Amino acid sequence: MKTYVLTAITMLNLGVLLVHFAPKTEKGLKENESSNEEFHQHKESLFFQALADENKKSPPEVPLPSKPILIMRFSYRNCDLCLRSALFEMKKWKEAMGGSSVRIMGSFPKNRDFEIFQKTYEQFPFDYEHVPEEYFSLALEKEAQYPFFFLWFPDGSIHHVFLPMKEDVPRTRRFLAVIGSKYVKGNDHELKTEHEKH
């Protein structure tokens, strides 16, 4: 089961490369060849960073969750539209699945910046957590251009790292649907542990 979910999420991440790099016309491709190549290389780099973060463990000083948790990790350096799109989809998922299995963790230079963020994004009523920039020691935290999701387990392991893209919202919804269908219990809305999925 774990292999199936990992494969599905890997394909969703790979889809970002195909969707964003598909040219509409030959003329448009020639006019934007240089910028498209840079864009493609950047997205490809992000994809491989997500793969590199797969199966890592959180640092020993980070308190472990008591149950599997879906994490949304973001930074003040994320693009505003990317963050709003991810939060909007996470809000809908939380309402459908229950809030006890979700944590939203952001990084800001100062507490004042965090407070301003909470007021600016008050239409997304989460219990945000302000954590250091490299809290989980992940490559995507260092990149910090886009928010991302992953599952964090009680043993500290990190799985199903996923980059949502505002240009492809259906892909994000498919990811959240996979997580919901494969990891969430029927009535108590808690994410299943590894042994419960088998």
pLDDT given for residue 189 in this prediction: 46
> Cα–Cα distance between 106 and 120 in angstroms, integer?
14
pLDDT given for residue 132 in this prediction: 95
Single pTM value for the model: 0.75
pLDDT given for residue 141 in this prediction: 93
Which residues, including other chains, have CB under 8 Å from residue 87's CB and lie 6 or more apart? 72, 104, 121, 124, 126, 147
Q: What angle do CA 21, 22, 28 make, to 5 degrees?
A: 95
pLDDT given for residue 180 in this prediction: 87
- Inter-CA distances, 56 with 52, 152, 159, Å: 8, 10, 8
Domain ranges of the chain: 2-197
> Cα–Cα distance between 1 and 114 in angstroms, integer?
38
**Mean pLDDT, 10 residues at a time, the chain of 198 residues:** 56 50 48 56 70 92 92 94 94 80 93 95 92 95 90 96 92 92 60 48
CATH superfamily of 2-197: Glutaredoxin (3.40.30.10)
Question: For the chain, first and last CA: distance in Å?
Answer: 7
> Cα–Cα distance between 71 and 151 in angstroms, integer?
6
> Cα–Cα distance between 188 and 13 in angstroms, integer?
29
Beta carbons within 10 angstroms of residue 27's beta carbon: 9
